[in-house]
Chains A and B, each alone.
Chain A
Amino acid sequence: MKQIKNDTSLRESIIKTIATIARINEKNIDDSVLIREELGIDSIMSLEIVAQIERHYGIVVDEEETLQIKTVGEFIDYVQSKIINRCHEA
């Protein structure tokens, strides 16, 4: 399980995970981009990304909730909130 040093490294790490799993150039991913419509990430790719992030950060995310998320920025915020909750619970 990795520790998050700051928001920037979390953001970079999540974008790298998305880019690797969905085989998209990192340069085409920013906070405002739509995950499904613009990046073409479907539900099976989303689950692979979520599984990787869960393992990496030791968090548990709700599968249905993540499918409702529209943009990369919203996804990063969502993961960050889960990490903060985990830290508070620890």
Chain B
Amino acid sequence: MKINLISPRGSTTGDEVVERIFSDTKDFQGYIESLTKASSSGLLVIASLTPAEHDVRIIDENYDAVDYNDDCDLVGISAMTQQATRAYEIADEFRKRGRTVVMGGIHATVMPEEAKKHCDCVFIGEAEETWPVFLDDFRKGTISDYYRSGKPADMTMLPVPRYDLLNKDNYKVIWLQTSRGCPHDCEFCAASRIYGHSYRHKTVEQVVREINAIQDIWPDARINFADDNLFVNRKYSRELVGRLKELNIRWFAQTDIAIANDVDLLRQMKSAGCTTLLIGFESISEKNLQLINSNGWKLKKASTYADAIRTIQSCGIGIVGAFIIGLDEDTKESLDELAEFIIDNNIFMAQISILTPFPGTRLCDRLMRERRILDRPWSDYTGMQVNIQPRLMGIEELQKGFYKIYQRIYDKDVRVKTLKHFKSIFKTLSCTVENE
């Protein structure tokens, strides 16, 4: 059987102004591109769960054209919300030609009925358990409308994703997932709707095997760990970091600000090849943080932000600070304060997102009740366009405030200040290494 697994095209920003700011500062930050042009790790897992007798192809529409007349037996499409509109177009075209189309991924999981209108069956949740069942049903001609995962996948049983199916020349950064689940219950987070709050991880040996498989294809690969929070279990983290040191890779990960409390681990991470960490600060306003986390975890950490940033970055690890604007307490003035906070604290890079009511989140439910969700297409759900009526700001005012922050933090003088700050950190660190 011939199976085409398709990742629909995603827009980089979906916004001309931001596109221009990123393009003008590309020498400084290539981070956004590594996110939007990333390989779809979900499809690689599905491919690895498919018996070898089938011919599986991965089509990443960011690089490859979709051939609707291909003589495949089955089409599988995985999409995030911002890719959903395009995913439906692709699905419709294949179905017009009589192909069986199935959909999964985060958007289909939270909007299964909507997805079903465009395909033959929908995968809800993690597909490790349901994909083999579906393949069997498909062979027998008895597929169901929905395949819902009954329990969280056992990460220790997952095979190595089929990195070999990717077109080697298209990817400079490879995403690798070691764990699923995050203990923080953030109102805006959609990932936890699929993966839940209990933290599950692969074994260190599994991760090493995956990295070896990646290095066989891309010997000098940069690895981005896709986990929402790589360092939840510190014992595991230490063991993993220790092994990463032996593999001579450079890598990026996402975590929370509590990592600043473990300077020894930070130093180990740096010497194991960690270049940057994405940390979700979300806001510098205590009132906003109060609303985000039901357990108040982020609020409790807010007063430590400046010290924590200094601690992490002085270990030679750059922070990509993730902030959300358009939160209920945000005003024009608070957006200006955020830009100055980023600059004053020399945060290496910032990822500013406009509050987006991703379907399936508690935020979406609340804003729907408050009738504050605008009628915008899924393709606008990039985090760079306003899709809600802000509480204390106008829609235009928030969009302009978003541009203003990026223009301010990527201003030439600010960039030079940040670059000098980091050069000075690296000079100090190289002195320390020489003196040891």
- Residues of A whose CB lies within 8 Å of any CB of B are 22-25, 28, 36-37, 39-40, 42-45, 47-48, 50-52, 54-55, 63-64, 67-68
Contacts and interface: CB of A to CB of B under 8 A. Distances in A.
Contact of A63 (B172, B276, B316, B420): B420
Interface string B119-146: 0000000000000000000000000000
A23 B220 contact: yes
Interface in B383-422: 412, 415-416, 419-420, 422
B436 to A, nearest CB: 15
Contact of B250 (A23, A43, A64): A23
B422 A44 contact: yes
A67 B222 CA distance: 19
B431 interface: yes
Contacts of A37: 172
Please give me the 7 A-B residue pairs with the lowest Cβ-Cβ distance, nearest first: A51-B426, A63-B419, A67-B27, A44-B318, A24-B220, A51-B427, A48-B426
Interface residues of B, number: 34
A45 B420 contact: no
B419 A47 contact: yes
A36 to B, nearest CB: 7
Given A23-B273, A28-B219, A43 B427 contact: no
B275 interface: yes
Nearest to A39: B220
B318 A50 contact: no
B150 interface: no
B214 to A, nearest CB: 13
A63 B28 CA distance: 10
B419 A43 contact: yes
A69 to B, nearest CB: 9
B220 A40 contact: yes
Contacts of A39: 220
B88 interface: no
A43 B28 contact: yes
A10 to B, nearest CB: 18
Interface in B246-277: 248-250, 273, 275-276
Contact of A25 (B219, B273, B412, B420): B219
B173 interface: yes
